Amino acid sequence: MDPMMINRRNSFATIAALTGGLSLPRIGFATQEDNVLQGKAEHVISIWLGGGMGQLDTFDPKSKGNPKEKKPGSYYDAIDTAVSGVQVCEHLRGLATLMDRVTAVRTVHHDVIDEHAAATNRMHTGRPVSGTVTYPSIGSIISHERGAASDGAPPYVLIGYPNVTRGPGFLGASSGYLYLTDTSQGPAGLSRPAVITPDRQSRRERFLAALQQSSTSNEDTRLRDYDDAIALSLKLSGPGFNQSFELNREPNDLRNRYGGEFGQRCLLSRRLIERGVRFVEVSHNLNFLNGSGWDVHNAGILQQHALIQELDTAVSSLIIDLEAKRLLDKTLIVITTEFGRPAEFDSGGGRGHQANTFTCVLAGGGLQHCGAIGETDDMAKKIISNPVGVPDFFATICAAVGVDYTKNLYDGDRPVPITDSGLPIGSLFT
């Protein structure tokens, strides 16, 4: 059969079959015949590692290689963790002690390796770039399905630079995000200028209300969404929600434990979910530490250990902090990246791109964690068991926060499966 003739909903399964993915063992996964799984988490903190985190050098270590000798393998030594038989790289010492609250999903895979933007889109929307449909991100999907967890908060906050791949796509502006790029000041758009006194603000709001009453906005979904966005902005511009961004309210020793700007972003994410935000994405920017982020071609790999240590410091602190506040079971932490890295070293001692198997991470969220799931070969290049497609990974996230991963969304009259027919990792829910 010509693969081009197969319908879109089955295209992912076809790719997996052509690469042998469907013939591999899948133990502990949900099936189409099972009842819809539903976890008890209320929030998601999604940590995005831009550039492509190498699985061999983090959560799926193998025998050590040597870039000078062009010997494939891990860049660092491996260490044991709190889960017997599960190892991580030596620079993840904090997380090593917490892996009983964590599952490294070592067999995530897709088919985009050459272009960062397309792979970033895949890992945010779960689908290939389309010329006809702008698909919603996982953050927007969860925001659309669950809304904010409290009346005084937005459903979705992005701590990083805005991008269409993080956005609501055909779901519309009401499922979009509020964003900030600097934890020292919060979103600029929510700060009322000093010259706008309370009296002036009240007059403006009365004038706006009069305009809205005299318009026909109820007949246009786009205008209605715009009005809703204005109403939410007015609500969030008050002192209540803006206090969420005042990190100086936190004890100095706690802030120091989280570390630098990336750590402060993770701390802010905890404050935001306490306020009632449903989904927070924390971006580990490319300019942090080495100028290239996790895109460790050539000499970029020389400072990779600093990135890993910063990730370890921030995320281990976040897990402990959430646990201390009895929020860990209510909060699913997700670590994703656009693809992984091959075992071989390039001419400059770094690594290229690899999408046929790489690692993403889940923590907390009330799941039954096991340290790691999925098995790769001795160089983390091929999947041995439990392949996890991106739709499966997204279905697991949805199930954890009580979103029905079997339902359809609608682009106008066109039904769109919410996770492109993914199935969750059922063993995490038993």
Reference 101, options 290, 274, 276, 322; nearest CA is 322
Mean pLDDT over each residue of the chain, to the nearest integer: 87
Say which residue, 242 or 289, is predicted with more confidence.
242
Do residues 270 and 327 touch, judged by C-beta distance below 8 A?
Answer: yes
Q: What's the whole-model pTM score?
A: 0.88
Question: Which residues fall within 8 angstroms of residue 234, CB to CB, at 6 or more apart?
Answer: 205
- Judged against a pLDDT cut of 80, whether residue 58 lies above it is answered with yes
**Over 60: is that where the pLDDT of 426 sits?**
yes
- The pLDDT value recorded for residue 322 is 98
- Token pair recorded at residue 304: 């990779």
Closest CA to 105 of 360, 315, 343, 395: 360
pLDDT (tens digit per residue) in 281-311: 999 976 667 678 899 999 889 999 999 999 9
Q: What pLDDT score does 9 carry?
A: 39
**pLDDT band, residue 312 (cuts 50/70/90):** very high
Tell me: the pLDDT tens digits for 366-384?
Answer: 999 999 999 999 999 999 9
For residues 341 and 351, give the distance between their C-alpha atoms in angstroms, rounded to a whole number: 6
Lowest mean pLDDT among 234-238, 326-330, 353-357: 234-238
What is the per-residue pLDDT for 182?
Answer: 87
Q: Could you give the angle at the alpha carbon of 90 between the alpha carbons of 307 and 384, nearest 5°? A: 95
d(CA 320, CA 322): 6
Enumerate the domain spans of the chain: 1-29+415-430, 128-154+168-175
pLDDT digits (tens, 9 = 90+) for 315-326: 999 999 999 999
8 A C-beta contact, residue 143 and residue 278 = yes
12 band by pLDDT with thresholds 50, 70 and 90: very low
Compute the half-sphere exposure of residue 319: CA atoms within 13 Å on the CB side of its CA: 25
Q: pLDDT (tens digit, 9 = 90+) per residue, 383-403? A: 999 999 999 999 999 999 999
